[in-house]
Amino acid sequence: MRGYRTIKYSLFCCCYVFWVASSVLVAAGVYAKIAKEKDVIDTLTVDPALMLILIGSVMFFMNVFGCLGALRNAKCLLRTFLGILLVILLLQIGVTVLGYIFSEKVIQRTEQLMLRALVGYREDLDLENAIDFIQKKFQCCGVQAFTDWSLNAYFNCSETNPSLEACAVPFSCCTGLHSQTVMNTMCGYGVQRAEGSSAQEEVYTAGCLEQILWWSKHHLLLVGGLAGALLLVELCLVCLAAAQISRIRVEQRRVEQRRAESRQRRKESPWLPAVRPFPEPDANTSS
């Protein structure tokens, strides 16, 4: 019984922690969505708020099933929780394997998504902040090179572009931001017209896709550790849910066996029941 309670409350505590985390994700996504301008057209692939809402919603409902199933010993809810978790686990493994096999196509698709995000830089505040964070974190600019910013309508380097930011790049591309007390947001103006050597003095010229791939290759231990930790947590949840379902089945069989033994003992008991109909009198004896 003690082992059963350990499994039960361990599963509940894990699901409760992830349920709280998913609620925070959904709340952050909804807040970011409401705070945006109403005329912004969002897509799932380039909108961080929609991604937060989607991932948080899946985690929320999955962990609700896990919490309620663990507390109420409901096999139906536990099976639903286990099924969703197994599907997510298999999808992660499948995506990892396919990504490794078709790595070139994955890189091409990632480049296309990054270019789409670059085009909508000024149209979505969340996307703008995410791109600025990536460019400052990885010390990069654009997707393949800093000149990719010419694809954006605001930074397009053409004579017909009336924008004040024409031929510029975002301030997050600029070098020396960490040493500046007051941030110069106009440091990237006119950089696309500069030569390669002079541009390197002002902004990062390497593309973010190349820098991210370089960082991933040189931090394989960290990336693998995070992926392994996530996989281990999911496997632990699968084992806990499967173990509780198995214990519930054993307990139900034990209860059914006790009931069957009780009914059998009643049938074999020599004592008469409390109320037993008297036999009908014979006609010859009555006469």
- Give the tens place of pLDDT for each residue, 76-91: 999 999 999 999 999 9
pLDDT of res. 39: 47
pLDDT tens per residue across span 202-240 = 899 899 999 999 998 888 888 889 888 989 999 999 999
- For the chain, the first-to-last Cα distance in angstroms comes to 67
Taking 80 as the threshold, does the pLDDT of residue 268 lie above it?
Answer: no
Percent of the chain with pLDDT over 90: 37
Task: For residue 89, give Cα distances in angstroms to 27, 53, 246.
Answer: 25, 20, 21
How much of the chain exceeds pLDDT 70, in percent?
A: 86
Per residue, the 3-state secondary structure of 25-77, as one string, reads: HHHHHHHHHHHCCCCCCCCCCCCHHHHHHHHHHHHHHHHHHHHHHHHHCCHHH
Q: Which range, 1-10, 21-30, 264-273, is most confident? A: 21-30
Q: Which amino acid would we find at residue 159?
A: E
The whole-chain average pLDDT of the chain stands at 84
Does the pLDDT value for residue 8 go beyond 80? yes
More confident residue, 70 or 275: 70
Q: Counting Cβ atoms within 10 Å, is residue 248 exposed (0-12), middle (13-18) or buried (19+)?
A: middle
Quickly state the pLDDT bin for 283 (edges 50, 70, 90).
low
Per-residue pLDDT band for 3 (boundaries 50, 70, 90) equals: confident
Q: Which of 116-125, 173-182, 229-238 has the highest mean pLDDT?
A: 229-238
pLDDT higher than threshold 60 for residue 22: yes
Least confident of 29-38, 149-158, 240-249: 29-38
Average pLDDT over residues 256-271: 78
Quick check: helix, strand or coil at residue 159? coil
Q: State mean pLDDT over 131-152.
A: 92
Residue listed under structure tokens 């078709």: 102
pLDDT of amino acid 123: 83
